[in-house]
Amino acid sequence: MSPRIATLAPDEILKPEQVCEIRHMTLKALAQERVRGTGPKYIRDGRRIRYRASDLAAYFEAHTVTPEGA
């Protein structure tokens, strides 16, 4: 999990720009993930997109790979 995520309250709401900073990606790439349905869960409030810190943490957990032999 990202060290930045560990410091957030689980119910904290993040803007897409904050998620991009944490995940080291562009806004366009994050938007493409939403379209494809491959990114973290998000909240749509009218035209606004927001993310819960807990959903982002769950996304990281679900995509954590443990190497064989570790």
> What is the SS3 assignment for 32?
helix
**Mean pLDDT confidence for 35-54:** 97
Q: What is the pLDDT of residue 29?
A: 98
> What's the sign of the alpha-carbon dihedral 36, 58, 14, 28?
negative
Q: What is the pLDDT of residue 69?
A: 80
Q: What is the pLDDT of residue 2?
A: 64
CB burial class (10 A; 0-12, 13-18, 19+) of residue 5?
buried
**Mean pLDDT confidence for 5-14:** 89
Using the predicted structure, report yes or no on whether residue 27 has a pLDDT greater than 90: yes
Report the alpha-carbon distance of residue 27 to residue 7 in Å, rounded: 22
